[in-house]
Amino acid sequence: DAGVTQSPTHLIKTRGQQVTLRCSPISGHKSVSWYQQVLGQGPQFIFQYYEKEERGRGNFPDRFSARQFPNYSSELNVNALLLGDSALYLCASSGDGQGTDTQYFGPGTRLTVL
């Protein structure tokens, strides 16, 4: 079975632009979460979606938004990019997104903002 897939692999944008990142979960998983990993740090929680509904949001500005589609894939959008948004963006999927459920990560999208 395929794991979590993300696209694109790498992306270069300039300040002020907008970006959309995509994620496909493991087949059968209904929950998708997004994390931001700045170089040299642990990932930080951005969003969790389950059955197309937002379940939770981390401490990120409104420039960050996401959605989940009927096939459980997800998009993360970031508007008005800042230099500080440069990071590895990780998508994780889990079955039902409950506390003991394991989250499986994709390879990530490396975003560079110039």
Contact residues toward another protein (CB under 8 A) are 4, 6, 31, 33, 35, 40-45, 48, 55-58, 88, 90, 92, 94, 97-108
**CA 97 – CA 76 distance, rounded (Å):** 18
Tallying the residues shown for the chain, one arrives at 114
Give the nearer residue to another protein in terms of CB position, either 92 or 111.
Answer: 92
- In whole angstroms, the minimum distance from the beta carbon of 15 to another protein comes to 25
To another protein, the closest distance from the beta carbon of 58 in angstroms equals 7
How would you class 45 by CB atoms within 10 Å of its CB: exposed for 0-12, middle for 13-18, buried for 19 or more? middle
